[in-house]
Structure 1
Amino acid sequence: MGIEEERLAEFFDEYAAALREFDADATARLWGLPGMIVTDDFAGALESRADMAAGLASSYPLYRRLGLESALPEILAVSALTDLISLVRVRWSYLDAADEVIVTTDYEYLVRDDADALHVYLAVGIDEADALQRAARTRGVDLDLFG
């Protein structure tokens, strides 16, 4: 029961590749619609690929200032909710050009195996805001510049 972990790993590797390229359109295609993002500071559903791409791209200026060159996903846990839906906890490690860890952050994703591919329908940011604040302080990046 549930989505095979190997398929989930391939899916999140594809997600990481899109993030490394700062390709919001490619990342948005990995989402089902509507897609919902929930963090301590934000909760919203995005109804279109264009809105999803714009929302995802809004974090790119900060990632660039922090020096993000690579993103590595590590699947920490998978809970099969049905044959086609799994809850997946992923730890993201964002690396700089020297392959030094800038920050690690955890997300919970609700992933569904649709007829054409796997898609994320819900992402819950566990600790991203705090982690990015710590990374910004360490790297001397002024977060006020990013709203």
Structure 2
Amino acid sequence: MQLSTILKPEAVKVVSSASSKKRLLHDLGDLAASAHGIDPARAVEALMERETLGPTGVGHGVALPHARIEDLEDVVGVFILLEKPVDFDAVDRQPVDIIFGLFAPETAGVEHLKALALVSRTLREQSICKKLRANADAQTLYTILTEAQTVQAA
């Protein structure tokens, strides 16, 4: 699995700021709707439900919110870079500015976990996060994310 199979260029966005974690989840839902045709209310509800199980802020300014969506056919992703970090109840209590949301079909067992592991591995690389934070162009962010994996695999 490659990031380019779950993330489309139109699913990458720079947002100047989000007033709260809840607002950010709504932004992710809106992006999932425009890029992948997912019902935004359903996406937000699923993300919020998942957050009640435990926060998806993994530390170092990175959050990986994810949820399962009924009737979705493939695992898909959305990416938001915040210009101003927001509190996300992260494990290290640091605000987040790099957010990669994943949506998986209800029935996607191992595929969902593979996608989550792939995104987690990619965003664990501090050099990649540094490059992401240094760019405010969505196309450049997409390239950094999708090329990072190719370089890692080589």
Same fold (TM over 0.5): no
Higher RCO, 1 vs 2 (CA within 8 Å, ≥6 residues apart): 2
TM-score (normalizing by structure 1): 0.31
TM-score (normalizing by structure 2): 0.30
**Which is helix-richer, 1 or 2?**
2
Q: Indicate the structure (1 or 2) with the bigger Cα radius of gyration.
A: 1
